[in-house]
Copies of this chain bind each other. A is one copy, B any other.
């Protein structure tokens, strides 16, 4: 990662245009052709050019030294199989941070050991003031981490709400849209399957509201609706429930239900499937559903965090906000449009395979 400030001139040299033209392109000046603007903007982003109002105004001072980058920490829990450890995620967020003038460094929260204070000391001694926090699954971490010394923005919903702004996926919107999509494609018996969770997640209200909104949409359109919560260990309960209700489509909170479904049913011939939380890490090509865009969530957290740093905000904001990021729809093969005949005939029971 270059820690030197990339200049307009350097961008211009690579782009084959003048520094002034680069400046105009970055401002979307109408005198620069649309195509050129896009090209220069993409190039500038790739090179890590950081434009900022303060710097722009003093950029004309001769002899200004290249600006050092400030360090920023990404703190995440210790599970190395999580998306936070994927090189593509780490690289993508490091690039985002660099665009704002930060050098991103990665840390483990060791939250299960309740080591918030120790982590705080490490960050402090490295001169880090800006922290992006991953999802929190242990209250002890929140109790021990010295929030007052840092600017902190969190991303992704864990089990505990940290005392800072939190960027997370818009699960309510996805749940409602999933049902709308099922209806549009001719499904008339919709089942929503969720995991029984031992802890209340941070987005519990949005999930609950999403469940109610989804059900409301289904019932308004005259579709049959069932919802169930299952422990991941009791897959027999899931299958008994499916056998009773005989849905034509299952909306599953995670891809787990898809793997289970496939054990006894032919998907999508006998029953269709939509997942609501398709992580990029297990994005099977065939699966249809809403995909979490962790990079987008993280990038927004970095942008917000930069605002906190510039605002010299430390510690916990008076009121924490939730930033809801739309999830991406991924078209796979598990939610085909139903044949017109079936749509019209309505509640044709789905044959059970198992």
Interface residues of A (CB under 8 A from B): 26-28, 30, 41, 44, 50-55, 57-58, 61, 63-65, 67-68, 70, 99-102, 129, 148-149, 167, 170, 172-173, 176, 205-206, 208-210, 212-213, 216, 293, 296, 300, 303-304, 306-312, 314-315, 319-326, 328
Most buried by B among A52, A210, A310, A324: A310
Q: Which B residues touch A148, using CB under 8 A?
A: 28
By the criterion CB–CB under 8 Å, are B322 and A311 in contact? Answer: no
Tell me which of B27, B50, B51, B321 contacts A324 (CB under 8 A).
B321
Q: Which B residues touch A307, using CB under 8 A?
A: 100, 303-304, 306-307
Q: Which B residues touch A216, using CB under 8 A?
A: 208, 212
By the criterion CB–CB under 8 Å, are A205 and B100 in contact? Answer: no
CB A157 to nearest CB in B, in angstroms, measures: 13
Most buried by B among A53, A323, A328: A53
Tell me which of B50, B100, B209, B303 contacts A209 (CB under 8 A).
B209
Q: Which B residues touch A167, using CB under 8 A?
A: 321
* Copies of this chain, whole number: 2
Given known contacts A61-B64, A65-B58, A99-B311, A322 and B209 CB-to-CB distance under 8 angstroms? no
Complex Cα spacing A328 to B319, Å: 9
Given known contacts A319-B326, A323-B321, A70 and B53 CB-to-CB distance under 8 angstroms? yes
By the criterion CB–CB under 8 Å, are A205 and B58 in contact? Answer: no
Given known contacts A52-B52, A64-B61, A323 and B325 CB-to-CB distance under 8 angstroms? no
Give 9 new A-B contacts, CB below 8 A, not counting A99-B311, A304-B304, A319-B326.
Answer: A30-B149, A53-B102, A61-B63, A176-B209, A205-B213, A206-B209, A208-B216, A209-B213, A293-B319
Given known contacts A101-B54, A208-B216, A212-B209, A314 and B61 CB-to-CB distance under 8 angstroms? no
By the criterion CB–CB under 8 Å, are A52 and B310 in contact? Answer: yes
By the criterion CB–CB under 8 Å, are A314 and B212 in contact? Answer: no
By the criterion CB–CB under 8 Å, are A57 and B68 in contact? Answer: yes
Nearest to A60 among chain B residues (CB) is B65
Given known contacts A52-B52, A304-B307, A28 and B324 CB-to-CB distance under 8 angstroms? no
By the criterion CB–CB under 8 Å, are A206 and B172 in contact? Answer: yes
By the criterion CB–CB under 8 Å, are B58 and A311 in contact? Answer: no
Q: Which B residues touch A99, using CB under 8 A?
A: 311
Complex Cα spacing A205 to B179, Å: 13
Complex Cα spacing A315 to B26, Å: 11
Complex Cα spacing A263 to B61, Å: 68
Q: Which B residues touch A70, using CB under 8 A?
A: 53, 57
Complex Cα spacing A30 to B57, Å: 33
By the criterion CB–CB under 8 Å, are B53 and A64 in contact? Answer: no
